Amino acid sequence: MKRDGLLILLDEFDVLGNKDGLGSLIKSLSSKDVKFGICGIGQDLHDLVEDHASVERLLEQGAVHVKPMPQTEAIAIIDRAEELFKGELTFEQDQ
């Protein structure tokens, strides 16, 4: 099975103020070679895409629910960033 194609990720989709027409745009631009991934926070998919019912249905079929990253992994990423930037970038732990 040929798996070559383009995946376009739309990150932080939930922060867009006006999403009018984006569902239809995604639907019209999608093909067997071009797919879209929508990343965002919402109570359900309707919060992300409201204007095109079939897009919501397709999203439900391919939805991947991602659990929050464990705190130890997040801290390891921050520690590594501080190390790579040799002290030029530091983070304070919020207590």
Cβ of 71: how many Cβ atoms within 10 Å? 8
Please name which of 69, 7, 65, 61 lies closest in space to residue 32, comparing C-alpha atoms.
Answer: 7
Which residues does the chain have with pLDDT short of 70? 1-3, 41-66, 95
| 8 Å CB contact between 51 and 21 | yes
Please name which of 50, 58, 62, 60 lies closest in space to residue 22, comparing C-alpha atoms.
Answer: 50
pLDDT of 42: 64
Q: Where are the domains of the chain?
A: 6-65
pLDDT of 1: 42
Please name which of 55, 18, 20 lies closest in space to residue 35, comparing C-alpha atoms.
Answer: 55
Please name which of 27, 25, 24, 33 lies closest in space to residue 4, comparing C-alpha atoms.
Answer: 33
